[in-house]
Amino acid sequence: MGHKFMTLLPSRSDVTELTTDELLLLDFLFDGGAAIGLMQRDAYHAHMNIRYTHSLTDANLLRVLRSLVERGLLRAAPDDPNTKRVVYWFTECGGAYWSRERMPVWERYCTSFTGSDAPELLDVLCVEQAIGRDFLCAAQRTGYIRILDDIKQVQWKPLDPRELIYWRPVDAAWQAKVQIQSEVDPEWNRWDDLNAGRTWWNSIEELQSFLPQQPPA
């Protein structure tokens, strides 16, 4: 069975005055900046890999983003000196607001990526080395990633915490570079197997597994 996309809104603490739509926009930005086109209502769910979206029209979306900037929760910066495209980012205050609602469990945060110039190298960034190793072992075991290195011999190096969480430095962060088979298996569909022993998260959907269970309304 393939990936089951999140259809329900993620849990929130309701301790801030943020509206649901405002919080959904902040969800998009917690791990990097984005231009308004990616956050439009019809595009939001595809880029977030979920099956819900916000209720804002394009005009209202721009108004809400400007309001978040005016309130000091976001900053807007040109994407390039030669273009008028604006990219929105968290401020530390915005990150703090988002954290109060979503309650991220940072010690379990782990993310990974490959570069276009070196698709055979996987960068793994995490707060706790043990969580990073859990991700690599599960990825190898389920075939999610074909890892060529000996996972037990992978070298973890200290990382500037702001390279992991750009708006709120964690106490420490780690990075490992792992040799992988760069070809993607188009038949891979063992998402449930990967999730079965998950100890890490890198998306709002995955974070839900590590939050306290809310009592029924």
| CA–CA separation, 100 and 177 (whole Å) | 32
Domain residue spans of the chain? 20-103, 107-202
Fold equal for 20-103 and 107-202: no
pLDDT, tens digit, 9 for 90 and up, residues 57-100: 999 999 999 999 999 999 999 877 777 789 999 999 999 999 99
CATH number assigned to the domain with residue range 107-202, chosen from the 4 options 1.10.3470, 1.25.40, 3.30.1360, 3.90.930: 3.30.1360
pLDDT, tens digit, 9 for 90 and up, residues 43-52: 999 999 898 9
Selection from 204, 206, 216 nearest residue 12 by Cα: 204
pLDDT surpasses 80 at 183: no
pLDDT surpasses 90 at 8: no
pLDDT given for residue 73 in this prediction: 98
Q: What is the mean pLDDT of residues 11-29?
A: 97
| CA–CA separation, 210 and 43 (whole Å) | 27
CATH 1.10.10.10 correct for 20-103 = yes
pLDDT surpasses 80 at 54: yes
